[in-house]
Amino acid sequence: MTTAPLPTARTLLVTGPSGAGRSTAINALEDLGYEAIDNLPLSLIPRLLEAPGQDRPLALGIDTRNRDFSTNALIELLDREPGIELLYLDARAETLLRRYSETRRRHPMAPAETPEIGIARDFDLLGPIRARADVLIDTSDLTPHDLRAEMERWFAPADGTGLAVSVQSFSYKRGLPRGVDMVFDCRFLKNPYWEPSLRAADGRASEVAAYIATDPRYAPFFDHVRDLTLFLLPAYVSEGKAHFSLAFGCTGGQHRSVAMAEALREALAQAGWRVSIRHRELERRGLDRPDPARKTASGETGR
């Protein structure tokens, strides 16, 4: 594979539960021109980043088996080193269990117990880290070939059309998402939370999106954001930027910000940009995978 020069400052940390595809992702990144190091102790990463002569981007594989792994230590590393991008490879528990059953391997977090116990321990340790991910790829329905294609889609050298765009939603109550380039506040829009029939749904439901769109400020706000984004993206491509992240926030991260993010994702995709979407608060509550129109039973405030 022939690759163009990549930005020298890029450092990608790759993690996720055991069995989600980290090794495949690391190998794909190496093929894309990254210097790939798997299972590097956390304590050595700062020294590696300080070393002179780093002329290739780095891909560092980290998982819960690492000798000095701890959730807090990894989060502290991300806070100290804002230039690190975090790629989180995820998969459903039943998918991970099936993969372990097919290979008959022991789970590294429960070598003398059942794989279910090891998977649960992985999820428990990695939950706070998953919430910090800059790029999240769910491999549950991906073959190794599909995952390699996803890695190329996100991390191949920019070639004029290679900018990867991420659109996110979040709750201001839980703070700004990490590493976003632009943030828009949706809290001025009409709030479905105060409509009893819509409170339990989220912004992916058509009736919620339609309700928000009745606010006379919605259309001009969306049009301005869409036009600004479409104006800026080619400029970032010309500057060699490989990834651009934009986020919408509202009070609870369930209705308005989700609807705006979904609408912008659709508009950008129609304009030909490769774009992914994340809903941080829905992910946190395990609501990021069901059918968009499904009502939820969450009793949390979803404003």
Same domain, 20 and 148: yes
Same domain, 151 and 17: yes
Q: Evaluate whether residue 302 is within a structural domain.
A: no
Same domain, 17 and 57: yes
Q: How far apart are CA 279 and CA 297, in angstroms?
A: 17
Of 81 and 198, the structure prediction assigns the larger pLDDT to 198
Domain hosting residue 195, numbered range = 164-284
Mean pLDDT of the 58-80 span: 85
**Average predicted confidence (pLDDT) for the chain:** 83
On whether the CB atoms of residues 176 and 183 are closer than 8 A, the answer is: yes
On whether the CB atoms of residues 212 and 144 are closer than 8 A, the answer is: no
pLDDT score at 53: 60
pLDDT surpasses 90 at 184:
yes
Q: Evaluate whether residue 208 is within a structural domain.
A: yes
pLDDT score at 293: 37
Q: Evaluate whether residue 291 is within a structural domain.
A: no
pLDDT score at 287: 59
Same domain, 67 and 125: yes
Identify the CATH number of the domain in which residue 116 sits: 3.40.50.300
Same domain, 176 and 126: no
Domain count, the chain: 2
On whether the CB atoms of residues 23 and 70 are closer than 8 A, the answer is: no
Same domain, 44 and 143: yes
pLDDT band at 294 (very low <50, low <70, confident <90, very high): very low
Q: DSSP 3-state assignment of 101?
A: helix
Q: Evaluate whether residue 303 is within a structural domain.
A: no
Same domain, 189 and 131: no
165, 177, 146, 152: CA torsion to nearest 10: 50
pLDDT score at 296: 32
Same domain, 96 and 208: no
This prediction has a pTM of 0.56
Same domain, 74 and 174: no
Mean pLDDT of the 152-165 span: 67
Mean pLDDT of the 144-166 span: 74
- Sorted by sequence, the CB contacts under 8 Å of residue 251 that are 6+ apart come out as 171, 172, 173, 187, 191, 193, 301, 303
SS3 content of the chain, % helix, strand, coil (to 5): 40, 15, 45
Q: Evaluate whether residue 45 is within a structural domain.
A: yes
Mean pLDDT of the 59-77 span: 85
pLDDT band at 299 (very low <50, low <70, confident <90, very high): very low
Q: How far is CA 130 from CA 14, 15, 55, 134, in A?
A: 11, 9, 29, 9
Same domain, 148 and 191: no
φ, ψ at 171 (rounded to 5°): -105, 130
* Most confident among 29-43, 102-116, 188-202 (mean pLDDT): 188-202
Q: How far apart are CA 107 and CA 281, in angstroms?
A: 29
